[in-house]
Each structure stands twice: as structure tokens, then as C-alpha cells.
Amino acid sequence: MSKFIDRVVLHVRAGKGGHGCASVHREKYKPLGGPDGGNGGNGGDVILEVDPNVHTLLDFHFHPHARAGSGKSGEGSNRNGKQGEELLLKVPDGTVVTTADGDVLADLVGVGTRFVAALGGRGGLGNAALVSKARKAPGFALLGEEGEERDLVLELKSVADVGLVGFPSAGKSSLVSVLSAAKPKIADYPFTTLVPNLGVVQSGDTTFTVADVPGLIPGASEGRGLGLDFLRHLERCAVLAHVVDCATGEPGRDPISDVDALEAELAAYQPALQGDAGLGDLADRPRVVVLNKIDIPDAHELADLVAAEFAERGWPVFEISTVSREGLRPLTFALGQLVGEYREAHPKAAPTRPVIRPVVKGDSGFRVIPDPEVPGGFIVSGERPERWVNQTHFDNDEAVGYLADRLARLGVEAELVRQGAEPGAPVTIGDVCFDWEPQISAGAEVMLTRRGVDPRLDRNERVGAAERKHASRVRRGLVPEDEDR
């Protein structure tokens, strides 16, 4: 038996960007071929898309981890790396995407609606793309960025026009079965319905959907019973119909008290989407009272007694029997009319267009604050500095010098000086901590030297050919270790 899953936690991870390539063109009779390293490919995105053939979040319940393809690294001869494949995840109509803290990220309503759940990492630039007047033949390339990784909560809110509410065994599932072609499970014991049932109803020229929400009980809005898990399916309903069991034999229950108890729960429930689809709170939705099981004589008499009191509240009242199908036709046309009035008052919204918010001109894009844990240290935060640090290969002196130039042009060095940073002060950017050395003269014109070396940096850990040859002879016992090279 298939399971109905309407809430899952999805762990998504976009693809990683490929590394750039540091290569020099080599060809006979062309000793100065120049840099020809290609760029790395971008990582693939993780995208959620509404599919009309998907009706539950069951697939994500069994496979909660989703990962897109990573980009390939660049190669020589100016060959760029292949782009990572995006991962397209199909979700049902009415899926709401939130963070673990409950912040709404997307409301996916309408076939084809998309949401980028995780952005793929950018591919690193090859040395051919890093050529400048200062660096004619860069001996380094940029690293690819990690893809975005997020934990998302997916909640399914049924997209129905009419929501049926009522106590367990009030006849909601039976009403759906006689109004539409749906065949829900029906029995005479409490909580027969464990999942919402949807049916399509034809009323004249109006076609609408009706949802049977599992039985509510007092305290449902606080988590008691099944109500809290399924009240979310009422948030998109334009009309709420109270289905009342007029033949109940439980002591202390009557149609008036049943409706009042459920009205209190609807008023106490706070929708996750405030003002969802412009409908407002559940307490403000149009109401219809359906007095069910009038095929039983005592129930028919009770329905006649309470109908006038519901009518005084301004609610249309219908006395029906799902067994004999008495009163169903007037109810169907009334629901169709209410749904039609709602659709006229709320035209279908235009497709959502992407909103581009450019960065304010003059924004430095970074922030420098004193490190609260390291005396005399500073923390540099910002999208660009942190991204540049992640792109840097710190084993390459020339790449480190290029990073220093970028930070200087951004104004990080000037800001550190303004805040009183001393030479050697520990500066943290992202996950990297280094000693600040202003004497590097970041941003100055780079002197021509061999590839992979920046003369502004004191350290040079590269082992030369003569040193490697001497070490090899020492290992073979040909010369003593202390012999001059």
C-alpha cells in the first residue's frame, strides 16, 4: 500500500565547480606560446519543479539526499571543463519550501513553477583568463567553488477549492465519494481517514476540487490527534464546509457544540503562509454547514431543529444524506457558486517573474571587525573576500600574491590600516587565517620572474632541480649528505 507523505526534510547539495587549468602552450618552433589553460565548468544546480503527475512527497521520504553533478576541470589548449549536470526534482502542486527555522523560501503553485534549491559552485578561471599587463603568463589558476548545501523542509498543502472539516466519522469521506469519482476508504470507526482525499466535482459550468481533511478534535491546533498534521491542507481552500454528524450517539455532543469546537480550532490555527493566496486566516473563509445522515429519522428531526441557529450566523445550511443522496444537488450547486464568486474576486495570478536586485553602487562588499577571540586580530567578512579565498591555491606563491592584489583593490588593506592593524596581525577570512604583512605592497606592478613565484613574498618552498639531484645521490649513497652541491 502506498504511503501519503506531506512533509519531509530534504538535504540538497549543488555540484562543485571545476578547477581552472594553469598551462602554457608548447609547440615546436614556438617557445613563447603563452598561457592556454581553460576554465573549469560550473557545478550543477538543484531545482524543484511542479509536476502535475506527482501527488506526494513519498520519493523524498525514502531518498532525502539530493546532489547535482560537479563541473569538470579545465585543460590545456584553452579547453574549458564540462558544466555539471543540474538535478531536477519533481514536486506536487502546492509544495511550500521552508528553512529548518520555518522561514518560507518558495510557494510552488502552478504546473512548471521552479525554485532553485541550491546554486552550483562557479568554475575556476584558467591562467589564460588571468592574463593582464602585470601578469603576461600567470603560473596559477583559480580553484572551483563548492556548491551550495542546504537543509530544506518541504510541506504539501493541498490545492483544493472546498475543504470538508468535521469530527471523525462525520461522513466527510462518504461525501467526497458521492460528489466525485474519488473512492476513499470508508468505515464506521474513528480516524478511518488518515490522509487527505481529493475529488473533482462538476457543477454546471464550474469544475472545482473538494478535499476531505482527516478528523479534527478539540486541541488539534495544539498538536492533539491528527489535526495539526493536516490543518495545513485547509490553508488554500476558498470555502470551508462543516460536515456535521446528526446521528451521533456520543454523550455531550450535538451539532452546535461540534461546530463551535471546530471553529475554535480553526481560529487558533496559525497558517504558515500568512494571507496565503490572499485568502486570509481560516476564521475568515466563507462557511457552509452540511447536516449529514438525515436518512435516520432522529437525525432528520435534530437537523431541522439546529438549521435555524446556523442560518442566523449567516451560513448556508444543507441537510443531506450520503446514503440516499438526498440534498446533494442543491449542495453541489451552492458550492460551485461560492467557488465561482471566489475566482471572480481573485483572478489567476500572472506567472512569477524573477526579480533582480542589483548591489547598491558604492557598496564595498566587505566588513572588517576585531577578532573577539584573538587579541590584535581581525575578521574580514563578505561575499567577495570569502569567495576569493576559496578560489586560491595557497601552495602557489603567485596565486597568493594575486589574492593580495584583489583584496587591496577592494580596500581591505586600507581598512585594516585605518582600524590600526599591526604587521603580523592575524587576519581571518572565511576558514583561512594568515598573518597580515603590509610590506607585500599588494596591488603594485608585479616583477617578471619564473612561473608560480611572487617576488614580494619572502617564503619560497619550491625545491630546485639541483637540490632534487643532490637528494637523489644522497639516497643512493654516492655522496655524503653534507657535501657541497
**DSSP letter string, 117-132:** EEPPPPPPPPGGGG--
Closest alpha carbon to 42 in 74, 11, 65: 74
Mean per-residue pLDDT, 111-133 = 91
| pLDDT at site 82 | 95
Q: Which of 71-75, 160-164, 184-188, 254-258 has the highest mean pLDDT?
A: 71-75
Distance of alpha carbon 58 from alpha carbon 87, whole angstroms: 18
| pLDDT at site 159 | 67
Distance of alpha carbon 298 from alpha carbon 316, whole angstroms: 22
307 burial (CB, 10 Å; 0-12 / 13-18 / 19+) is: middle
Cα-based distances in Å from 379 to 324, 370, 439: 75, 6, 20
DSSP letters along 435-484, please?
Answer: E--GGG-TTSPPPP-STT--TT-S---PPPHHHHHHHHHHHTTSS-TTS-
> Left (φ > 0), alpha (ψ -120 to 50) or beta: where does 41 sit?
beta
| pLDDT at site 484 | 63
Task: Flag whether pLDDT at 174 surpasses 50.
Answer: yes
Task: Flag whether pLDDT at 274 surpasses 50.
Answer: no
Q: 56 versus 442: which is more confidently predicted?
A: 56
Distance of alpha carbon 435 from alpha carbon 457, whole angstroms: 12
User: Any bridge partners for residue 122, and if so which?
Assistant: none
Q: 469 versus 119: which is more confidently predicted?
A: 119
% of the chain with per-residue pLDDT over 90: 22
Beta strands in 293-372 (DSSP E): 317-319, 367-370
Position 391, amino acid: Q
Task: Flag whether pLDDT at 77 surpasses 70.
Answer: yes
**What is the reported pTM?**
0.67
Closest alpha carbon to 419 in 473, 379, 462: 379
441 burial (CB, 10 Å; 0-12 / 13-18 / 19+) is: middle
| pLDDT at site 182 | 56
| pLDDT at site 216 | 60
Mean per-residue pLDDT, 260-281 = 64
| pLDDT at site 19 | 95
Beta strands in 336-406 (DSSP E): 367-370, 378-381
C-alpha cell at 268: 487558533
C-alpha cell at 284: 475568515
Q: What angle do CA 303, 307, 312 make, to 5 degrees?
A: 165
Local confidence band at 7 (pLDDT 50, 70, 90 cut-offs): confident
Closest alpha carbon to 330 in 299, 285, 288, 295: 288
Mean per-residue pLDDT, 23-50 = 89
Yes or no: say if 377 and 199 are a contact pair by the CB < 8 Å rule: no
| pLDDT at site 448 | 52
Residue 337: partners with Cβ closer than 8 Å, 6 or more residues away: 203, 206
Position 220, amino acid: A
Mean per-residue pLDDT, 185-202 = 61
Task: Flag whether pLDDT at 273 surpasses 70.
Answer: no
Q: 217 versus 426: which is more confidently predicted?
A: 426
Cell numbers 581552472 correspond to what residue?
20
| pLDDT at site 199 | 78
Residue 35: partners with Cβ closer than 8 Å, 6 or more residues away: 22, 23, 24, 25, 126, 127, 128, 130, 131, 137, 138
